[in-house]
Structure 1
């Protein structure tokens, strides 16, 4: 897979739970890493599911994204190598992150804490080509920090009845962040997940999303898969758990599409010029 022309920082967001945010984050990251690209996953969800899937320790007391947000440690001090690949790193989330939104409220430039932590210098220390930020299923201060820190947004949408419900609110919030906090923010990628080819509904949702968002939607669709659901229980991505499964190969295809777009196009630049 080609390396991007410039480092890409992508926030994976959707305030609706259960749409495959964390699953998509860790598996796309793992697929890129397996093909020689250095990737950093920022686990910004207090549940710490991305940390679990990547085999990274996230018990209380572990250097985590919580301390990074508060400015107590550098990004490189919290970044741990994943068991999935030597090219894959994760800044884990501990349960301390659950109280971070309350603590951030009183801080100066509270929406910019993650952006400051992800400076070019900090990311050069880790030495990565891609940064994926896994958001909690809400539109709170942690998600706002993720949207301010990134140049791109990846939105996973499940191929089910309520898929588009709430998407308008997410896009509205992204537009607010773009207007007031991060003018370079762009919804660059939409990924359809949990596709069940046996139902007409899945095709209807797929066609509706493609007609509305056009080429922003990846050609690859992630199928509903038992193997994808089982993998986190073993502390693995589906690529490590069952590399030959349909779900695994679909995530490799999705990662390749993202990598090819990164190599072909000049990514949007952040407001500070980075």
Structure 2
């Protein structure tokens, strides 16, 4: 069953389109990574799926319902979004911020202090390893600590779908691992559906069930990490060549930039070698706008 879908999504800024009819389908309990070059439209697609941007064309659907038609509180009870950059200067403690995650579940006369809500706040704070920081004001935290606090607020919403835009941007290696494994635990043990925009391709391969590659505002390829990690894929989508390895069934890629002449030759050879794997990049239709 599809949990979240984007149907022919189109968006742009001014007269320039940046997303051109993207179709994306996320199944219940799946973790999907959206990857692609800078400026390819990844975050714009995610923001349309999060109901933060209204599509110029097409629709984002949650459990068969048009997200744009859902009341804000109803949508917030089912879907949560953690953006790459958060609002700065909020004079709240960590606990006060996390408690805001309960607002979609409150009646107009409730303030979120009821025992059932406080127990969920406690769980979210513990899950993000913030117990010792819960009474500290947000401006006193490091960038990584703040990101964990915002993630705790998102999971305190107890959503069925969690959308993450580069969630590990401000985190050191240890906290990146901690955050991604927390999301993995929620995905595996509680069936949380997760969609994540990621620049780290090896991290995407390690954690995601399926990858959707976006280039020039279109879906260029999609499949499991093992299906996508081919030389043809990296040369066509990212313009790089390198070495591909696999450990315990998880592929990884070490890139090196090629000269244009060598890249053209490598891309042709890689496409021929990958024909049997079934990888076929989507080609833009004649006459369609392709610049981002």
Is TM-score (shorter-chain normalized) higher than 0.5?
Answer: no
Q: What TM-score do the two structures reach when normalised by structure 1?
A: 0.39
Give the alignment's TM-score, normalised by structure 2.
Answer: 0.37
Larger radius of gyration: 2
Higher strand proportion: 2
Structure of greater relative contact order (alpha carbons < 8 Å, 6+ residues apart): 1
